[in-house]
Amino acid sequence: MNNEQFPLPRSGDISITPCKHVVCSSEIEYKPKEEIKRFQEEKMREALQYLSLHSRFYQQIFREHNINVNKIRHLEDLQQIPFTDKKDLQLYNQDFLCVSPEKVIDYITTSGTLGDPVTFAMTDKDLERLAYNEKISFLCTGTKLNDIVQLMTTIDKRFMAGLAYFLGLRKLGAGIIRVGNGIPELQWDTIQRIRPNTIMCVPSFILHIIRYAEEHGIDYRNSSVKKAVCIGENLREQDFSLNLLGQHIKEKWDIDLYSTYASTEMATTFAECEYGCGGHHHPELIICELVDANGLLVEEGKVGELVVTTLGVEGMPLLRFKTGDLVSIHTEPCRCGRTSMRISPVVGRTNHMIKYKGTTLYPPHINDVLDNTPYVENYVVEVSYDESGNDAVLVRVGLRNQTVEDIVKDLKDRFRAKIRVAPEIEINAAVDIRKINFPDLSRKPVKFIDKRKK
């Protein structure tokens, strides 16, 4: 890409250390653990000073809880500070903004828990931080200067993700094609015309474009695409072997698959390296803690809710933000040489927990049964309250073919065998389910609908 065509970002005024050389990654990821901890503590102290000076929301928290930020010196001390959650962001959205409105460049929204979206405001420095984050995350996935990446993700509609990929790839110097989400015909036309070697998309969409290629006689296996960097859905199990979705893609199309995990609130990505054993943590961008349902730190190797403190964010920095994502942390050094910790595939979301007929379930448990059933083409899981206020689960299924006589009974048996309980089943047309799975205004495929929300 020709950088001369665009004004280069002002890298001089960011507090993180930018990587000067395009093929190297951030150095701190390769340092001994103690050094990473000391480095993070310094960044944490800077972040706390910044919040105490500029954030109305956190000034109030510090006052109410009698917190002297000068006494929060080590990562362990963070536990003295209460959590921030999505509800706080929604109720006190404006109080999180640390800069005057004229410093805001980009406005982003993300879904809130109370119905209305939450607004995130990004300054020039935040966009630069986002670009740096994506650049080092793409480097982690082995993406290089001379690669061409087809973005099958939305770049507008107030989303952060597509913009972040664009900025990161531009900083890396790779070629970018902004096709956006959906429209398999345009995706294949672009692949044949521009010959990208990498695609960036949600994994279910890969199955979607494979199906389109098969139906339209496109020789996808011999196309230019050799790699997919994936977002929004897991590709792996907790032991890092490919999950069914990953296996289904690999069986059809033998391209390299990389998982990434990110969210708007974190403005940070955890990307896999070539060894595919969890998303690598970037210590200069975020502090991670894992907590149990009581808010206490969980032991290493155990599943907990990821709590993050953003570093180097100017517009809307967050302190001990509860992401709602249940993950585990891996701390042994990776074969790629990075020593920073890695995050497991997301086990589930705390607010997606289902109590059904005495069993605690998360949507991935239900998805797993459906993904394992050969005649199921697609599905959506709906959770609502029944008349007594208990969770009710309805699974709407689209079929690939009718290979068994009583599908509802067969599916219920499969559920009972795997998760002990069977949800209600409804058979729908696969084309109708596909419309629910890939709505125009969603960045991620919709396979779970929670009607329990007030």
Residues within the interface to Zn ion (CB under 5 A): 273, 334, 336, 338
Smallest distance, Å, CB 56 to Zn ion? 40
Smallest distance, Å, CB 331 to Zn ion? 13
Distance CA 206, CA 400 (A): 17
Smallest distance, Å, CB 263 to Zn ion? 21
Smallest distance, Å, CB 336 to Zn ion? 3
Helix axis angle for 203-215 and 244-252, nearest 10°, is 30
Which is nearer to Zn ion, 320 or 338 (by Cβ)?
338
Distance CA 199, CA 227 (A): 6
Is 79 within 8 Å of 71 (Cβ atoms)?
Answer: no
DSSP assignment of 12-29 equals GG-SS---SSTT---GGG
- The amino acid at residue 271 is A
* SS3 assignment, position 149: strand
Distance CA 85, CA 257 (A): 32
Which is nearer to Zn ion, 279 or 348 (by Cβ)?
279
Smallest distance, Å, CB 137 to Zn ion? 12
* Maximal CA-CA distance, the chain: 69
Smallest distance, Å, CB 328 to Zn ion? 16
Which is nearer to Zn ion, 102 or 332 (by Cβ)?
332
The Cβ of residue 33 has, within 10 Å, a number of other Cβ atoms equal to: 13
Smallest distance, Å, CB 338 to Zn ion? 5
Residue 199 gets the label, from left (phi > 0), alpha (psi -120 to 50) or beta, of beta
Which is nearer to Zn ion, 44 or 273 (by Cβ)?
273
- The amino acid at residue 56 is R
Smallest distance, Å, CB 282 to Zn ion? 12
Residue with tokens 């890939």: 438
Which is nearer to Zn ion, 273 or 366 (by Cβ)?
273
Is 58 within 8 Å of 52 (Cβ atoms)?
Answer: yes
Which is nearer to Zn ion, 330 or 443 (by Cβ)?
330
Smallest distance, Å, CB 377 to Zn ion? 35
Which tokens in the block code for residue 136?
């080092």
Smallest distance, Å, CB 278 to Zn ion? 8
Which is nearer to Zn ion, 69 or 273 (by Cβ)?
273
4 Cβ neighbours under 8 A, 6+ residues apart: none
Which is nearer to Zn ion, 129 or 281 (by Cβ)?
281
Which among 76, 78, 84, 77 is positioned nearest to 58, based on CA atoms? Answer: 84
Helix residue ranges, H only, 141-282: 161-172, 184-194, 203-215, 244-252
CA distances from 41 to 16, 35, 157, 318 (A): 14, 10, 36, 16
Which is nearer to Zn ion, 86 or 342 (by Cβ)?
342
Which among 213, 193, 122 is positioned nearest to 160, based on CA atoms? Answer: 122
Which among 308, 212, 192, 312 is positioned nearest to 253, based on CA atoms? Answer: 212
Which is nearer to Zn ion, 124 or 237 (by Cβ)?
237
Smallest distance, Å, CB 277 to Zn ion? 7
Which is nearer to Zn ion, 273 or 411 (by Cβ)?
273
Smallest distance, Å, CB 274 to Zn ion? 7
Which among 433, 427, 382, 420 is positioned nearest to 404, based on CA atoms? Answer: 427
Which is nearer to Zn ion, 108 or 343 (by Cβ)?
343
Could you tell me whether strands 227-230 and 268-271 are parallel, antiparallel, or unpaired per DSSP bridges?
A: unpaired
Is 235 within 8 Å of 345 (Cβ atoms)?
Answer: yes
